[in-house]
Amino acid sequence: MENRKNTILLTVIAVATLLVAVVGATFAYFTAQGGNTVQQNVTVTSGRTTNGSFVTYGQISISANQDNFAQGKPDLTDSATGVVTYSSNEQDASDFCYNVTLNIASNNFEYTTAPTNTPELIFTAEKKAAGTTAEPDFDGEDSTFTGGTTLINALDITTTQTDVQIPTTAGGNDYKHVLSAGVSETVYDYWRFTVTFDNLDSDQNANTEKNFTATIDFAQTPCA
């Protein structure tokens, strides 16, 4: 009798374990965390797993006041960085596609040089397409970002209130960035985003106590 009870108990445990494994291998999930804005997408298909993730470090904030911005003072600048990671499975080479956007939360800067409307608040976006299976030598610090390609160069956003989507080439119209990984490879794209309030040789007092804030949004998009 005791042996029979043990057999039944072991059978129940085995069935429960099998059910958990099947459920875990069948469904995809999405997680998002605050703080440094970590987002992860995981897709599971027929036992072949691929994984794409985004990490952004910081947000961009510019605040001009009488202490930090006056004639003879350096330009005001702030930046954020990001990493996109994609890992293929053990059976197939595959692609991971995504979009990148500067999400402007607030901006009340204005032109002070009318009627010429000289740009005063400018945006630059750089991307380093690493495409390597090595662990990234990048910890999110601006000083560790090197060798990037400028995709948006000193774009005038002085009075811009709308978001800015970043193309794949400078001046281009394609906004779908692609990471291609071979079988069992992990590849990376590194990013740096910079906003600068330019100290012109003119009266810019109208922009005293003005503020700009923005975040960086990475979003997966279909490759097809």
User: Domain coordinates of the chain in residue numbers?
Assistant: 28-220
The pTM assigned to this predicted structure is: 0.76
Residues 89-93, mean pLDDT to the nearest whole number? 90
Angle (nearest 5°) at CA 165 between 160 and 87: 150
C-alpha distances out from residue 166 to 57, 104, 216, 221, Å: 17, 13, 10, 14
pLDDT in tens, 6-34: 444 434 344 444 333 433 433 222 222 23
pLDDT in tens, 111-150: 999 888 999 999 999 998 766 655 556 666 777 787 889 9
